[in-house]
Each structure stands twice: as structure tokens, then as C-alpha cells.
Chains A and B, each alone.
Chain A
């Protein structure tokens, strides 16, 4: 079965500090994309960062970076210099390349950034 596991239902971090959200996944496919999406309260789901599975280099996007361990099927998100606006639900997801764009999501991690 294709699954995504986010083992941290809730996390909190002080403003300006660093936090890491964990994600593991299970697929027998070799070509896929990994994503972290952010869903602020009552607002639109938006992409935080993406990683192509064939790339060994970890993706970075400003304060956001990932630690992609393909053999371990692990895809954690690090948020540096946390800001109040980072408070949101974060979903890890993957998309199999030849399965048409369907996303498999994890359960989500609710992140609170405290002043």
C-alpha cells in the first residue's frame, strides 16, 4: 500500500527558532515527487517545497529545506527562523510520476509558532 506517515500531530516552536517536521512514506515506485504543503487556518493549501526523487541534492526554498533520504523513505522539513506566519497545518505528500498527478497525503502536523 502507498502510505505517508507524519508521526508528529502537533508541534510548537518559538519565533526565530528552528523546527523539523518528520515524514516517512512507502512506495515501490522509483519515479515520484515529494511535497510539503502548508494549510493556514481557513486559507488555501499552498506548496512549501518540492523534491524530485531522482535528485540527490536536498531542495531548499528560502527558510525551508528538506532532508531527503531515499533509501530510508524519509522526507523531513526544516523551517529556520520560524515566523508567526508559519503557523499552519503542514502536509507531506507524494505523487507517482506515471499515475497522473494524484497526491497521497500524510495525516498532517499542526505547527504553532509562539511569540
Chain B
């Protein structure tokens, strides 16, 4: 299994609460990503980072924010959770240099439900 971890696995939280989804990897990858996956649907990139202090928004607009203070850590924060944020969030990483043998490694995901 890949050395990329997400916590919590499941989270049910009330509207208006601030939440942080954690993602850590021990592979030394510079590149990390957050994907949002609605039930039975494709994944969409919401944030990515190519290294410390580097963050960019992805293709799907999201009210969440991310930070990258350490190489191994890429947390995602929602300042005020809403029911529309209910979804599965997948964290991933890729090696610094892309080439033959490249793949993305995924965490187990956080299933978020906002009530």
C-alpha cells in the first residue's frame, strides 16, 4: 500500500463548523493534490501543490483552502461547513519527476457529511 494517509476517514459535522482534513505522505513527494468525489461520480481536482509554500486551485471551484508548510503535509480546511460540502475528499501525491513509471498514489479518503 502507498504511504499516504488521510484522517479522519469519516466525519459528520454540523453546518457552520470549521473543519480540517489531514493528509500526510512519507514518500518525499513534492507534488500533492486534493480531489473531490461525489457519490458514484468522477473525481475533480480542487487543489494542488508542487512544493512547500506552493498552492494552486484546481479545475473545480471549491470554498476550501489548503496549505503546504511541510513537504509531507497537505491539509484542507473548510472555514464554515455547509451541506453542499458533503462529499468524499481524496488526497494524492506524485513523484517530483514525472516519467516512465509515473503514477499517483492516493490516500483512503475522507467521507464528509455536513448536516
Contact = CB atoms under 8 A, between A and B. Distances in A.
A44 B106 contact: yes
Contact of A101 (B1, B90, B94): B94
Interface residues of A, number: 23
A70 interface: no
Contact of A108 (B1, B41, B50, B104): B41
B33 interface: yes
Interface string A86-114: 00000100010100111101111010000
A50 B98 CA distance: 13
Nearest to B111: A42
Contacts, number: 63
Interface string B89-108: 01010100010111110111
Say which size band chain B's interface belongs to: 20 to 34
B19 interface: no
Contacts of B100: 52
A91 B50 contact: no
B45 A100 contact: no
Nearest to A108: B42
A107 B41 contact: yes
Nearest to A96: B98
Contacts of B107: 44
Contacts of A11: none
Interface of A: 4, 33, 35, 37, 43-47, 50, 52, 91, 95, 97, 100-103, 105-108, 110
Interface of B: 1-2, 31, 33, 35, 40-45, 48, 50, 58, 90, 92, 94, 98, 100-104, 106-109
